[in-house]
Amino acid sequence: MCGIVGYVGPQPALDIIVEGLSRLEYRGYDSAGVAVLADGNLRTEKRAGKLQNLRDALAESPPPADGIGIGHTRWATHGAPTDVNAHPHVDNANRVAVIHNGIIENFARLRVELEERGSKFHSQTDTEIAAHLLSDELQSAGDGDLAAAMRRTCRQLEGAFTLVAVSTEDPDLVVAARRNSPLVVGRGQGENFIASDVAAFIAHTRDAIELGQDQVVELRRDSVRVTDYDGTQVEGNEYYVDWDASAAEKGGYKYFMLKEIMEQPRAVADTLLGRLGEDGTLSLDEMRLSPADLRDIHKIVIIAAGTSYHAGLIAKYAIEHWCRIPCDVDVASEFRYRDPILDPQTLVIAISQSGESMDTLMAMRHAREQRSKVLAICNVNGSTIPRESDAVVYTHAGPEVGVAATKTFLTQLVACYLVGLYLAQVRGLKYGDEIRTIIEQLAAMPDSVERLLDTMQPTRDLARSLADSETVLFLGRHVGYPVALEGALKLKELAYMHAEAFAAGELKHGPIALIEPGLPVVVVVPSEEGRGVLHDKIVSNIQEIRARGARTIVIAQADDESVRPYADDLIELPDVPTLLQPLVATVPLQIFACELALAKGNDVDQPRNLAKSVTVE
């Protein structure tokens, strides 16, 4: 959501900024703009729609290529996605330009005050008040100190925001401020970058500084200075980005999503790498919780959003089964409003690919306020959620650019299994060789996923044949139920189709009324180990819907003969233990949704209205 780029250095600023914005396109946006400061003049250009519209406008009337600059891709919150609402916003004197990610909650009141003082507004955005306020602060102090003006501005703002500004008063300086919304500095040689994530500058430098809450940074060619809102200098958190630029390229695929689906075997393998020591003990990435703390835990609450929430639902089955600790799973945006019962013996697991989802961040902060411990499962090193957690397991999936999560989901599952096993280890609930056996089963998964990916052509053909369907239903039991939810979510996100998932047992309590002749229903059948009651019940469910004319698309283990007579279409899975089955069962559903969306001509990397990292609540 909202991409931010800023550059100060000897290279042509405009090129660097537009290139950076293109690398942030995956975050989701509906307009884009730049401001370049050269020879004491500020020039802004902004356009609704795709970045290409901005490129065309810049080609028609090119601003100076050098100087310093800032750029933005906007995901509309206040005001429609129009040219005028796009960022940057400037003050009436065209002295400062500001870009923003987040929501300024007290903008309506501030706007009235600014209008009373003579500011003329042109947009419907909350951001524009920041440009006027910053300009007022700069002018009233009369000292040309943009950073100090930014600090005073931020103290007047409420909400979550990242602001980046340039001013004609100090043409060698980019200033940025951060509250909640992500912001990271890239340190170069004689040049510096700022962006909402490292993808924007990774082609230029991999030395990064993560900014903390309520910090302001001043970037010049040869210096980076971080202060708090009072102006006291503070240390930013420096780190090295271990993704290289090529990891964020399409690598011969037409879409990032196709590439990322195919990368899943490697992503799963990398997430498992080095976890099991010679002595059979498991280790996690950052564990600031002692074994004693973990032995004290009497309840686990998992909080997450979107696809990460589905990973959490699957984790519950594994953790409760292996550790015998009650485990709730909450949609992050609902969590703190239900007044959850939390205490120091509650372990909260926050699952977030980006580490920046505002709903998840706010939910985990609420948990920490109640003195619960927080363990983060995250893909982005140095992002806010892991930084504020007591323990972290990174998912090592590499950068995921497609907005709809694929490889990070599988790696989140692996991380959840690791956490479950780690807890079982620490609490003495499993022998070392039991843990080793499950780790070995997990270690066999990359190979299973690889082989499965080689057999997906019939699934693609099936998806294309359903491109005109209006609805697809998904059914599952046990861990197959969250898999069904994820399959339905993928179809909604990518193909813009109505799709719904149900626990197969719930079918008879209502959803069965939806079944009509020809309706495609995807059913996820538990694997070998789960045969018996669970398996037989779902086979009955398949029969029930088929008897009512549904087109049954059955996802089952390849040697499961019992489902064949009732499957109009059969997608065969490798033989894996039930609890681990989501690692394979999800794959055909990703391919199904992706192919169906492509058949409809949709952009699977940047689905409409969606953002990769949702930094507003």
**Residue closer to ligand G6P (CB basis): 154 or 349:** 349
Residue with tokens 């980005």: 241
Least distance (Å) between residue 377 CB and ligand G6P: 9
**Residue closer to ligand G6P (CB basis): 331 or 429:** 331
Q: Does 485 bind ligand G6P (CB under 6 A)?
A: no
Measured CA to CA, the distance from residue 579 to residue 313 in angstroms comes to 12
Give the largest CA-CA distance in the chain: 81
Q: Does 153 bind ligand G6P (CB under 6 A)?
A: no
Measured CA to CA, the distance from residue 613 to residue 253 in angstroms comes to 23
Of 101-109, 349-357, 448-456, 533-541: span binding ligand G6P (CB under 6 A): 349-357
Q: Does 612 bind ligand G6P (CB under 6 A)?
A: yes
Using the rule CB under 6 A, which residue among 119, 353, 448, 527 binds ligand G6P? 353
User: Could you tell me which residues come within 8 angstroms of residue 55 by beta carbon, excluding any fewer than 6 positions away?
Assistant: 18
Q: Does 247 bind ligand G6P (CB under 6 A)?
A: no
Our answer to whether residue 600 is catalytic in this structure is no
Least distance (Å) between residue 348 CB and ligand G6P: 14
Using the rule CB under 6 A, which residue among 294, 323, 393, 405 binds ligand G6P? 405
**Residue closer to ligand G6P (CB basis): 123 or 354:** 354
Cite the beta strand spans of 345-401 per DSSP E: 346-352, 373-378, 391-394
Measured CA to CA, the distance from residue 457 to residue 462 in angstroms comes to 9
Closest residue to bound ligand G6P by CB: 306
Q: Does 403 bind ligand G6P (CB under 6 A)?
A: yes
Using the rule CB under 6 A, which residue among 306, 446, 480, 487 binds ligand G6P? 306
Of 212-220, 397-405, 469-477, 597-605: span binding ligand G6P (CB under 6 A): 397-405
* Residues contacting ligand G6P: total by CB under 6 A: 17
**Residue closer to ligand G6P (CB basis): 63 or 182:** 182
Our answer to whether residue 2 is catalytic in this structure is yes
* Run of H or E residues at 546: helix 533-547
Measured CA to CA, the distance from residue 443 to residue 435 in angstroms comes to 12
Query: Are 119 and 132 spatial neighbours (Cβ–Cβ below 8 Å)?
Result: yes
Q: Does 590 bind ligand G6P (CB under 6 A)?
A: no
Q: Does 615 bind ligand G6P (CB under 6 A)?
A: no
Q: Does 404 bind ligand G6P (CB under 6 A)?
A: yes
By rule CB under 6 A, what string of x and - marks binding of each residue 409-428 to ligand G6P? --------------------
Q: Does 27 bind ligand G6P (CB under 6 A)?
A: no
Using the rule CB under 6 A, which residue among 360, 381, 557, 615 binds ligand G6P? 360
Query: Are 226 and 211 spatial neighbours (Cβ–Cβ below 8 Å)?
Result: yes
Annotate 194-223 with b (16+ C-beta within 10 A) or e (fewer): bbbbbbbbbbbbbebbbbbebbbbbbbeee
* φ/ψ bin of 518: left (φ > 0), alpha (ψ from -120 to 50), beta (otherwise): left
Measured CA to CA, the distance from residue 32 to residue 48 in angstroms comes to 6
**Residue closer to ligand G6P (CB basis): 200 or 563:** 200
Q: Does 127 bind ligand G6P (CB under 6 A)?
A: no
DSSP string, 493-508: HHH--EEEEEEGGGGG
DSSP string, 170-225: STT-EEEEEESS--EEEE-SS-EEEESSGGGTTTT--EEEE--TTEEEEEETTEEE
Q: Does 307 bind ligand G6P (CB under 6 A)?
A: yes
Residues 435-454 that bind ligand G6P (CB under 6 A): none
Measured CA to CA, the distance from residue 241 to residue 186 in angstroms comes to 10
**Residue closer to ligand G6P (CB basis): 220 or 492:** 492
**Residue closer to ligand G6P (CB basis): 478 or 612:** 612
Of 57-65, 350-358, 528-536, 596-604: span binding ligand G6P (CB under 6 A): 350-358
Q: Which of 2, 323, 327, 378 is catalytic?
A: 2
Q: Residue 276 gets which letter from DSSP?
A: B
Using the rule CB under 6 A, which residue among 352, 384, 552, 602 binds ligand G6P? 352
Cite the beta strand spans of 261-334 per DSSP E: 286-287, 299-304, 327-331
Rg (CA), the chain: 25
Using the rule CB under 6 A, which residue among 31, 196, 215, 354 binds ligand G6P? 354
Least distance (Å) between residue 26 CB and ligand G6P: 10
Alpha-carbon distances, residue 66 vs 201, 368, 429 (angstroms): 17, 46, 63
Residue with tokens 């009497």: 298
Using the rule CB under 6 A, which residue among 129, 267, 272, 305 binds ligand G6P? 305
Using the rule CB under 6 A, which residue among 357, 381, 411, 552 binds ligand G6P? 357
**Residue closer to ligand G6P (CB basis): 205 or 412:** 412
Task: Give the binding site for ligand G6P (CB under 6 A).
Answer: 305-308, 352-354, 357, 360, 403-405, 610-614
| Catalytic (active-site) positions | 2, 612
